[in-house]
Amino acid sequence: MHPQGPLSQKLFAVAREMIPGGVNSPVRAFRNVGGEPFFVRRAAGSRIEDIDGKSYIDFIGSWGPNILGHAPVAVTQVIHEVAKSGVSFGIPNPYEVEMARTIRDWVPSVEKVRMCNSGTEATMSAIRLARGFTGRDTIVKFDGCYHGHSDSLLVAAGSGALTHGKPDSAGVPQDFARHTRVLPYNDPEALADVFAQEGERIAAIIVESYPANAGLILPRPGFLDQLRTITRTHGALLIFDEVMTGFRLGKSGVQGIEGITPDLSCFGKVIGGGLPVGAFGGRADVMDLLAPEGPVYQAGTLSGNPLAMAAGLAQLRELEKTNGFARLEELGAHFEAGLRALLDAKGIPHRLHRAGSMFCLFFTDRNIVHVSDVMRQDLDRFRSFFWGCLEKGIYLAPSPYETGFLSLAHTEADLDETLGVMGDVIARF
């Protein structure tokens, strides 16, 4: 048990009386590291400050959205200005049209796009649309890939579900789960087998193109191409879940990096500037089946919210203006080289995965190819590493199954300070 400051301890005790587990999202509960969470009072740039006054260099960034850092002026000024004219209308506003135009311009596979309020809504809606378009029921997903908490997709999931050792949730009807086929990621034989047996019944494959809710797993060469080829062959749709990777690894996300054109894509996080947001889009002939044009119903009171759209646009424009993706790659490479050197010098078994500003450290000598490899890492060593860093002001994800994030607010000095702390912690192993 590693108690936090007294104010956080007291507030968490109160929170547990009114909120299940004391948190509004399971991964925040620190269950996988054996302690209790702290409460944040403010954040700016690369740092957060808890209610007891302790400051931390933050490598979570609200789990990905804060690619410019916390409270960037470019975003907060826009929120302030737009809020003067109203925070929600329930009527079309210009910002949602401009966001749709920007997504379409940046992501070539997207011909039309629909806004929603979360990544869960985006993936849930994309699945419904794929079923409506194909007239089929079966969905293929991959073990450890987390696509939100809708019933059809909360089967062998990652993120908080993986952390808590319950990949399948209570409350999901068996009739829903039976329409989902779960395969190992990076396993072309299993993929070929399921399509050979059930190809005519499969509506879509949905995949985290770079799975980032079971650590960070990278695709084997050719695996994503196989997804594209096999879905086309069998008349199924390919859905890329780019909620994490979209607009973080480049203008067109993983599909731009890998040269893959999915039928549908799901987005969130970065396009909201830190406010709740989601979006899904793709081929016009598929998207046109959505109500009010077609028979597939999807709606949301706050979809296209002017604050979220304006904040997201401000963030995207700042990334574009500052050549932000190139800078994030520089920071990521600097951090990766430093951390590898520390671990190699001490002979600590590890695998370090990085894609741009996303990273994950696994304490293992196994190559990380499947989620089963992730589950076999040294969890005790991870806990020691996490608490050692936290005690010295470095905030990493409180779970070995989550990805870390850099932002444009991080500096080389921040990273060198972090590496210094990590070196001290590693020396005590």
For residue 82, the surrounding DSSP H or E stretch is helix 73-83
Active site residue 241: yes
Annotated catalytic residue within 269, 373, 395, 401: 269
Active site residue 146: yes
Name the amino acid, one letter, at 291.
Answer: A
Annotated catalytic residue within 58, 241, 373, 378: 241
Strands (E), 213-323: 237-241, 264-268, 278-282
Rounded Cα distance, 116 and 79, in Å? 19
Query: How many other C-beta atoms can be found within 10 angstroms of the C-beta atom of residue 411?
Result: 12
* Backbone torsions φ then ψ of 168, nearest 5 degrees: -110, 135
Active site residue 143: no
Rounded Cα distance, 330 and 339, in Å? 14
Contact between 32 and 214 (Cβ < 8 Å) = no
The closest of 138, 153, 130, 132 to 282, measured between CA atoms, is 130
Query: What is the longest distance spanned by two Cα atoms in the chain?
Result: 62
Contact between 296 and 290 (Cβ < 8 Å) = yes
Rounded Cα distance, 288 and 286, in Å? 5
* Backbone torsions φ then ψ of 29, nearest 5 degrees: -80, -10
Tokens of 73: 């002026």
C-alpha separations of 347 from 141, 196, 299, 375, 418 in Å: 36, 45, 53, 21, 20
What is the b/e burial string over 81-106, where b = at least 16 CB atoms within 10 angstroms of the residue's CB? ebeeeeeeeeeebebbeebbebbeeb
Active site residue ranges: 146, 241, 269
